Amino acid sequence: MLARIINCICILVLMVSHLRADDFNIGAQSATALNQVVLYPDSSFFKHSNIRYDEGALFDIVDVSVLEHEDADQNQKFKWFKVKSRSDNREGWVYGDGLAVHSDSNDLNPKLKSFHQKKVVLNNGFENALLWVASINGRDNFHQKDYLNPIYNEFYLVITNNMGRSVHLKCSGASAMGESKLKQLKMKDLTGDGVPEFVVQKSILSTGSDLEDRVLEIYSLQAGTLVKIFEERMTLNYDINMASPALFKNIQVEEDLIRVAYVDYIKCNRSNLDDIPQEGNTSLSRCLEYVTYSLVWDAQQKKFKPIYNKSISALYGKIKASTGYLLAQPNTARVSSESIGPNEELWLVRHIEIYDKANGQKSIQNFFQVKTESGRTGYIPAKDVQIQDVEQAALLERYYQKAPLYKNTWKADDCFLSIQ
C-alpha cells in the first residue's frame, strides 16, 4: 500500500512538473521587470508600498493609464500599468520605466522579429525557455506640451524559462541623447559548452553628432544571468568625432575565436613603424598601419583572452595602370616625376589630403606618400593605387575614387562583422 501511495505521489509530481514546464506562455499582455520594481496600490507614488519584485519577474497586464505621468525626478514620463504577478497572483500598479511590455511583431526590427516567440534550449535553469521581444515607451520630459517632448524607448530581447523567470538584453533604443539601432543579432556557441551565446552588433548615433559609433557585444548565460563576455568598439576615427576612410574594424567570430583586423589612420608622431620617410609640405596627413589581433575563449577565466599582442604592419599596394609616376610633391603637375612599373610593390606610408578652392567650389585630392622596393620615395594619387591583401581594400578603393569633403558623410553597406 505504501509503495502504491509513493508511486501515485511521484506520478502527480511529474504531472505538475510537466504542466509548469510546458504550459507557460507569453502573450500580448505579458511584461517583465527590467530591475527591481514596486507594486503600488494605485497609479501614483503617493501611497507607500513595501511590495517589491526582483528583476526578471513576470507579470500580466490588467490595465494601463490613459496618460503618461512624470517620474519621481520629473525627468521622464511613462504610463502606469496595472499588473498581476505570475509568481503570487497579487495585483497592483507598476510605473512604466521599470517594465518591458510584450511588443507587437508588426512594430519590430526585422532582425529581431525572427527571435520573437522562439523556443530555445539554454542552461542554468533555462533549458526550457522562450525568446520574446519587449519594450518600454515614454518621453523625455523637457516641455509642458508632450508633442514637443522627444520619444524615449528601449527594445529588449527577453529570455523566459518555464518557471516564470526572465533575463534580458537591450538591443536598441531612442531618447533625447541619441539613438541605438540593432545591426546584427545571432546565437552561436562560442564557449564550447553546447549552449549558444548572443552576438549583438549595434549602431549608436549621439544627438548633435553625425559620427556612427558601432559596437560588438557578446553575452553568455552564466549561473542564470546574462553576462557580457566581450565588447569591442568597431568605429575607427580619423580625428575626434571624425570618421576614418576605413570606417569600422572587420571582426570575424567563429566557435571559440575572435579575429579583429583594420586599417588605422594615425598621427605620424604615434606611428609604430620604423623608417618613416620625411613628410613633405602637406595640409593634412595620417600615417597608415594594418592592425590585427585574435582572442580565444578561456574556459577557466570565462572570458576571451588575446592569443598574442597586436600585430602592426605596413600597408602595401601597386599601381593600377601599366605605368605610373612617382611624384616629388603631392600634386598632379608631375614636376620631377619618375616612372614606376605595375609590378613594383609600394609601401603606403601616409594618406595625404590637399584641399583646393576654384570658382567658389572646394575640392579635395588624396595622395599616398610611398616607398618602393628599391628605396625610392615620393607621392602617387590615391585613386591610382590598388591596395593589397587587407579586408578593407575594396572599401578604400571606393573611397579614393571619389573622396567626400566631409568624412562623416562617407557611408558603406559592407558587412564588417562575419559570424561563422
> What value does the mean pLDDT take over residues 263-277?
88
Does residue 336 carry a pLDDT above 80? Answer: no
149 and 103 within one domain: yes
Alpha-carbon distance 11 to 298, whole Å? 43
Q: Report helix, strand or coil for 176.
A: coil
Question: Are 32 and 24 spatial neighbours (Cβ–Cβ below 8 Å)?
Answer: no
Residues with Cβ within 8 Å of 134's Cβ and at least 6 positions away in sequence, in order, are: 30, 31, 32, 100, 101, 102, 103, 155, 156, 158, 168
Residue-wise pLDDT for 66-98, tens only, equals 988 888 777 899 999 999 999 999 999 999 999
Question: Does residue 327 belong to any structural domain of this protein?
Answer: yes
**133 shares its domain with 207:** yes
Report whether pLDDT(46) > 70: yes
Using CA atoms, how far apart are residues 270 and 273, in angstroms rounded to an integer? 9
Spatial distance between the Cα atoms of 419 and 188, rounded to a whole number of angstroms: 8
Percent helix, strand, coil in the chain, to 5, is: 10, 50, 40
Calpha distance 78→82 (Å, rounded): 13
Mean pLDDT (the chain, rounded)? 89
Residue 11 lies in a domain: no
> How far apart are alpha carbons 74 and 144 in whole angstroms?
11
How many domains would you assign to the chain?
2
Same domain, 87 and 217: yes
What is the pLDDT at residue 119?
94
Please tell me the distance from the alpha carbon of residue 74 to that of residue 104, in angstroms, as a whole number: 28
Structural domain span for residue 328: 246-420
Q: Which domain-ending residue is among 177, 202, 233?
A: 233
Q: Are 174 and 166 in contact (CB under 8 A)?
A: no
Amino acid at 414: D
261: its cell numbers = 583586423
| pLDDT > 90? residue 42 | yes
Is 319 within the bounds of a domain? Answer: yes
- 1: cell is 500500500
Looking at the structure, tell me whether residues 304 and 155 fall in a common domain.
no
Cβ neighbours of 72 (radius 10 Å): 9
Picking from 204, 233, 262, the residue at the C-terminal end of a domain is 233
Residue 22 counted as domain residue: no
- Let me know: does 264 contact 249? Beta carbons within 8 Å: no
Same structural domain, 151 and 286: no
Report whether 371 contacts 314 (CB < 8 A): no
**Residue that terminates a domain, selected from 233, 263, 290:** 233
What's the rounded Cα separation, in Å, for the pair 105 and 135? 12
Contacts of 233 (CB under 8 A, 6+ apart): 213, 214, 215
pLDDT at residue 281 in the model = 52
Q: What is the pLDDT of residues 215-232, one digit of tens each?
A: 999 999 988 899 999 999
In a shared domain, residues 191 and 58 = yes
Phi then psi for 73, rounded to 5 degrees?
A: -95, 0
Same domain, 332 and 188: no
Q: What is the mean pLDDT of residues 388-397?
A: 94
pLDDT average, residue stretch 339-343? 85
Q: Does residue 37 form part of some domain?
A: yes
Are residues 217 and 320 located together in one domain of the fold?
Answer: no
Contact 190, 198 (CB under 8 A): no
One domain, residues 192 and 256: no
Question: 82 with 93: CB under 8 angstroms?
Answer: yes
Same domain, yes or no, for 324 and 224? no
Q: Is residue 277 part of a domain?
A: yes
Task: Tell me whether residue 238 is in a domain.
Answer: no
In a domain, 296, yes or no: yes
Which residues is 350 bridged to in the sheet?
287, 369
Domain identity same for 303 and 347: yes
State the burial class of residue 166 (Cβ atoms within 10 Å of its Cβ: 0-12, 13-18, 19+): buried
Say whether both 163 and 279 belong to one domain.
no
The amino acid occupying position 305 is K
C-beta separation of 33 from 57 below 8 A: yes
